[in-house]
Amino acid sequence: MRILITGGTGLIGRRLCKELLAQGHVLTVLSRRPEQVSALCGATVTPMLSLDEYQRDTQFDVVINLAGEPIVDQRWTPQRQQILRQSRITLTEALVNKMREARYRPLTLLSGSAIGVYGNAGDTCLDEQSAAGGDFGAQLCTDWEAAAMTAASMGVRVCILRTGLVLDHDGGMLKKMHLPFRLGLGARIGNGKQWMSWIHMQDYVALLIFLMEQTRVAGSFNMVSPNPVTNQEFTQTLARTLHRPAVFFAPAGLLKLVMGERADLLTGSQRVLPVRAQGLGFQFAFQNLGEAIRDLWRS
């Protein structure tokens, strides 16, 4: 199939491109740094600098929308919040408009979101039918999803990818945690009782492609493993895997002081289950956190 990917040079995008190329698909990647696309995504991938290159006669069978500025890297000032919204919502709106104007519309749009859509939900088990939260992160996801869902009105099948904590050895949170835990400086966050919903990169890519191929399903999907863990359990599992102690903790109040509102990403709790994916028969290769981490740190 002919596939357009936004955010293809990111951590998930690179892995996805590798797998899709191995399956024989023809890929185009939208990137502000088109000179890096071949090196990061594959020599045969076509770079697209701007959506202006998505012309009326351009034809894609599938669009995978993963673009978005990192949400945790900088304090959420009003200016940063606007950048986060533009990189997700404004880009998605522009992408859907291009699809609407095209002579040959794609059959499927797979569009990113995050489990942050549920807000801080404590110990409540969350599935795809659970209500959205009310904080900035939840509203960002809600608006992002709404922008993508407008494509359904023109007959495009839309799947919303509510992504949890993606574990990979090449980047993301797990890589950042590796050195301090290796040095015996691993720490739980706050009281450690908040839930973390995670997924191994291999399972994430496999589930995304599974949804791409399931032509009769649409709507929101929780992209997480079936076994979320508390932050305390996550911390202990990391430390145990590295044969190191983890006796420290980062006070929630200090995180709030240093990080502002985005500290909620670390102290908030989302106990999310992949109910719809499992209902379709998707089989997770890594359901146990310890097995997932051991596999990744062997890689």
* pLDDT for 298: 72
Parent domain of 146: 2-167+197-224+273-285
Looking at the predicted structure, is the pLDDT value of residue 256 above 80? no
Q: In the structure, what pLDDT confidence band is assigned to residue 255 with cuts at 50, 70 and 90?
A: low
Percentage of the chain surpassing pLDDT 90?
Answer: 77
Looking at the predicted structure, is the pLDDT value of residue 248 above 90? no
In a domain, 249, yes or no: no
Question: For 10-30, how does the pLDDT look when each residue is reduced to its tens digit (9 = 90+)?
Answer: 999 999 999 999 999 999 999
Q: In the structure, what pLDDT confidence band is assigned to residue 260 with cuts at 50, 70 and 90?
A: confident
Q: What 3-state class would DSSP assign to 71?
A: coil
In a domain, 202, yes or no: yes
Other C-beta atoms closer than 10 Å to the C-beta of 159 total 20
pTM of the model: 0.95
**Total of domains in the chain:** 1
Q: Is 288 exposed, middle or buried (0-12, 13-18, 19+ CB in 10 A)?
A: middle
In a domain, 253, yes or no: no
* CATH number of the domain residue 209 falls in: 3.40.50.720
Are 125 and 86 a contacting pair, CB within 8 Å? Answer: no
In a domain, 20, yes or no: yes
In a domain, 31, yes or no: yes
Residue 235, both tokens: 């911390």
Q: What single string gives the DSSP state of each residue in 39-69?
A: HHH-TTPEEES-GGG--TT---SEEEE----
Looking at the predicted structure, is the pLDDT value of residue 225 above 90? yes
In a domain, 268, yes or no: no
Question: For 119-137, how does the pLDDT look when each residue is reduced to its tens digit (9 = 90+)?
Answer: 999 999 999 999 999 999 9
Return all residues near 276 (Cβ < 8 A) that are at least 6 apart: 127, 128, 217, 219, 220, 221, 222
117 or 253, which is more confident: 117
Q: In the structure, what pLDDT confidence band is assigned to residue 173 with cuts at 50, 70 and 90?
A: confident
